[in-house]
Amino acid sequence: MTAEENDSGYPKQVKIIESTMSKRDCMVVMPTSDGKSACFLIPVYERQNY
């Protein structure tokens, strides 16, 4: 997933998802309702080929 492919969501989410999809470790600290779950789940689903 690249920023161009996903224009929805927060810029922070796109950056985090790109990092995790590149198999880099990430530590994320974000406020409530900023989309931390999506940052975790999107790469998991992508790796499972859903």
Question: Does 1 have pLDDT greater than 60?
Answer: no
The pair of structure tokens assigned to 26 is 């990430």
In this predicted structure, what is the pLDDT of residue 48? 86
User: What is the chain's alpha carbon radius of gyration, rounded to the nearest angstrom?
Assistant: 10
If one counts every other C-beta atom within 10 angstroms of the C-beta of residue 16, the result is 24
* pLDDT, position 27: 92
Query: Which residues, in sequence order, are CB contacts of 16 under 8 Å at separation 6+?
Result: 26, 28, 39
pLDDT score for 11: 85
Q: How many CB atoms lie within 10 A of CB 37?
A: 8
pLDDT in tens, 12-47: 899 999 999 998 998 999 889 888 999 989 988 888
